Structure 1
Amino acid sequence: MGHDLTRAGPGPAGPPRTVEMIWGLLILNTLGSAGARTIVPLPRSLIQMATMGALATAFALALVLNLRLRVRASAFLFLLTLLLVLSVISSANLESGFGALFRCFRLTLFVSTLWLLSRWWDGSPTFVRFHIRMYFGVLVSVAAGLVASPGAAMPDLYGGRLVGALWPLTPPQIGQYAAVIIGLTVLLLLDRRTTGASAATIIVPSLVLLALTHTRTATLGLIIGLALAIGSLVMTSAAARRFFSWAVLLATVVGVGLSSLLQAWFLRGQSQENFSNLTGRAKVWDALLAAPRTTTEQVFGVGLGDKSFGGLPIDNSWLAVYNEQGLAGVAVVAVVFVVLGGVALLRPPSPERAAAIFLISYCAIASYTEAGLGDASPYLLHLTVAASLLAAPTVSAVLPTPAVPRRRTAPRAQRTELT
């Protein structure tokens, strides 16, 4: 049976609706406050108050919902906690100013909220649905801004690429959100966890927005991540085999027939030299690695900052973590990928495993040109969803449900329980 992805939360057997609200608040917190100019100018201080208020509210709601502090311990959460400890150690000397301590406080609330939500990790796609619905809501605001003011939504400052005109979102952010929910929705559709109409409502507009952002990293992450995820299902799913075959055929036809158009889209009007140094990113990376550092700074970093170096964005998760949390932080982030990837590979083929593989792969690919793995960010939320998918089913989910007389309306309730 299918399920409408745009409907409200899961049925009585799933987590309370408040959990979905908490997840939405965490997503709001990670949207950031820097980006393009909006139609109605929003002071950065006001946006920061809104995002930080969302995180504080999420933590408070999670604490009220889980007063007995029932959590599901996992290596993923322990590693995030270790990363938090390293962040506090690196920020304690105030080399990055008092802002580093504030960012540590934010990361503390963020990780604590994830611990409280872990009670509802049961290996089901519940948090996948939360993720899709919440980020689709963000994309709806982007589309609304495009309709309201095309000039503000595709400004010359960003080379005509799509930005957030109602909330300051950059093209890479929009591309990331679109790519992630497209991939997750495709995997739900392959397993018949949603209807074709509901999936099309998500996938089609998201593809349009992704194309308008001209975001290469998100596009490659979507393609490679889906290939790996669907490839993990090929031996056990006829639907996955059919989709994989048609996708290869379509990619071949499009690649041959529209090669020049695809090349122009991919280059975005840049010169070969500018493209080869990743739009100037390589110069920042070289300068960061060449900068002198003490032994303490090499091991623990200089403290949580704004993911920039010399006033320019680092745009690489590994170098950003090295700069702020040192080699120790890089090691912890690497172990996160090893643990999640190892658990995913050891699990038998399943749609949940495929979705986890997609998210892990996407984050690994995006980490090369995007920062965020060392702080509260959408990438940590993506990996959290992957961790929830890889969690062992709870006892209540494994034990057989006792037979209970049902009324005539049982089919509708059963459809809701499939979420």
Structure 2
Amino acid sequence: MAQDPARGAPPAADARPGDAPRPPGTPKLVGTVWGLLILNTLGSAGARTIVPLPRSLIQLVTMGSLVGAFALALTLNLRLRIRSSSFLFLLTLLLVASVISSAHLESGFGALFRCFRLTLFTGTLWLLGRWWDGGPTFVRHHIRMYFAVLGSVAAGLAISPGAAMPDLYGGRLVGALWPLTPPQIAQYAAVIVGLTVLLVLGHRTDRTSAAVIIVPSLVLLALTHTRTATLGLLVGLALAIGSLVLTSAAARRFFTWAVLCATVAAVGFSSALQTWFLRGQTEENFSNLTGRAKVWDALLAAPRTTAQQWLGVGLGDKSFGGLPIDNSWLAVYNEQGLIGIALVALIILVLGTIALLRPPSLSRACAIYLISYCAIASYTEAGLGDASPYLLHLAVAASLLSAPAAAAPPTAPAAPRRHVPRWARRSEVT
């Protein structure tokens, strides 16, 4: 008899008492939905591509992918079976705050469109939350989809190196087939490298398959010259592997070798590392974070009403005075106010607390890596308050921290009927 995946698979015949219940099956089309969500968050702004793509066409593709993701997720979950999730609950509250702040139209009608986009994004995650079981399923979808994106970047580099590393970006790697900026490429590379390393340590993939992903991703990361993504990769992996050190011999060996290699590299290649890190910038340009600090100071010094201070001006393009904000917390403050900052902080705090309270495991380590990476990257990248790759990273972390669906209780076998002799059935009353 077929088993409803929402109720869990029946226990195996050789299952022992105390074994963890088998997680519910995840439809293959869930990976397609996840890929469409990732396509939606790639954005439409970046360097010039080899074949010029109109921005309206790119926006049509990205928005169409989100509508397709929501429709497909709804098809897979027609009965609207959802699971409780503190992450999705807080994200929904952030959506409500965004709608309230955008209703004043201080940022124009585009704010309402962005609210509609965030609504579809959040609704799709609610529909997919049914299959969040604490396993690595969504980690694998995450790695596959972002590796495909990096494959397009590598293809653009092979076809036209000049377009892929233009002088406009200081010779840093950009997307030549799809408009991607260096920080975007670095973010995708750093995330999948860290997750793949953890899967190897957890014996969930072989080393050959992992090397196929890790080596080219590290090369692309180096070509972007992105400091924040590199720092997020190193610190995130240190925290994630540190959570496994007491229970995993493989994690202890990797941590020891990593520290040894880092020490040798710091001593032997200090000059080359310093040149890569500075990217040819002057000391003044480096100290103000490539001009970001000037935008931040101007944003904080701008006069605001009480409503703007608490609710913001509505969802916008994460810019101030025509310049990118490049800081998640200030972007949220500008668009969703202090209430938005409190909700975003609660999302990271709640996920981090749940991860710390869980016993050591591969799922916990992957969640710690994603949470710490997003926290570090939020200092020089915007996106925590709107539909973005960072919210997808945190959604994967939430799926890793979700408890497995409870298995259906086994049915007790019926007691065998005893044969009663005919003489025993007669009544003794005459």
**Fold shared per TM-score above 0.5:** yes
Root mean square deviation, CA, Å? 1.5
Q: Is it true that 1:235 corresponds to 2:228 in the alignment? A: no
Q: Which of 287, 290, 293 is the aligned partner of 1:282?
A: 293
Deviation at 1:394, TM superposition (A): 1.1
Report the residue type matching 1:47 in the other structure: I
Deviation at 1:14, TM superposition (A): 3.3
Q: Which of 342, 348, 352 is the aligned partner of 2:353?
A: 342
SS, match of residue 383 in structure 2:
coil
Report the residue type matching 1:306 in the other structure: D
Alignment of 1:368-387 (within 5 A): 368-387=379-398
Q: Is it true that 1:44 corresponds to 2:55 in the alignment? A: yes
Cα offsets for 1:346-400 (capped at 9, x unmatched)? 000001000000000000000000000000000000000000000001113x979
Q: Is it true that 1:26 corresponds to 2:37 in the alignment? A: yes
Q: Is it true that 1:352 corresponds to 2:363 in the alignment? A: yes
Report the residue type matching 1:25 in the other structure: L
Q: Is it true that 1:141 corresponds to 2:159 in the alignment? A: no
What's the counterpart of residue 251 of structure 1? 262
Cα offsets for 1:70-91 (capped at 9, x unmatched)? 1111110000000000000000
Cα offsets for 1:104-145 (capped at 9, x unmatched)? 000000000000000000000000000000000000000000
SS, match of residue 174 in structure 2:
coil
State the distance in 1 between where 2:314 and 2:299 align: 15
Q: TM-score, normalising length from structure 2? A: 0.90
2:312–2:333 CA contact under 8 A, matched in 1: yes
Q: Which of 85, 91, 104 is the aligned partner of 1:74?
A: 85
Q: Is it true that 1:173 corresponds to 2:184 in the alignment? A: yes
What's the counterpart of residue 228 of structure 2? 217
Deviation at 1:241, TM superposition (A): 0.3
State the distance in 1 between where 2:323 and 2:25 align: 45
SS, match of residue 395 in structure 1:
coil
Deviation at 1:320, TM superposition (A): 0.1
Runs (4+) of structure 1 moved beyond 3 Å?
none
Deviation at 1:13, TM superposition (A): 6.4
Cα offsets for 1:183-206 (capped at 9, x unmatched)? 000000001100111000000000
Q: TM-score, normalising length from structure 1? A: 0.92
C-alpha spacing 1:292/1:304, structure 2 compared with 1 (3 Å) = same
2:101–2:312 CA contact under 8 A, matched in 1: yes
What's the counterpart of residue 376 of structure 2? 365
Q: Which of 316, 335, 338 is the aligned partner of 2:327?
A: 316
Report the residue type matching 1:198 in the other structure: S
Q: Is it true that 1:264 corresponds to 2:275 in the alignment? A: yes
State the distance in 2 between where 1:73 and 1:58 align: 21
Deviation at 1:337, TM superposition (A): 0.8
Q: Is it true that 1:200 corresponds to 2:211 in the alignment? A: yes
Q: Is it true that 1:89 corresponds to 2:100 in the alignment? A: yes
Give aligned pairs, total: 391
State the distance in 2 between where 1:19 and 1:308 align: 34
State the distance in 2 between where 1:246 and 1:399 align: 46
Structure 2: tracts of 5 or more residues without a match: 1-22, 411-430
What's the counterpart of residue 412 of structure 1? none
Moved more, 71-80 or 357-366: 71-80
Q: Is it true that 1:122 corresponds to 2:133 in the alignment? A: yes
- Aligned-pair identity in percent equals 81
State the distance in 1 between where 2:282 and 2:168 align: 18
SS, match of residue 235 in structure 1:
coil
State the distance in 1 between where 2:41 and 2:174 align: 16
Report the residue type matching 1:335 in the other structure: L
Deviation at 1:172, TM superposition (A): 0.1
Q: Which of 101, 108, 114 is the aligned partner of 2:119?
A: 108
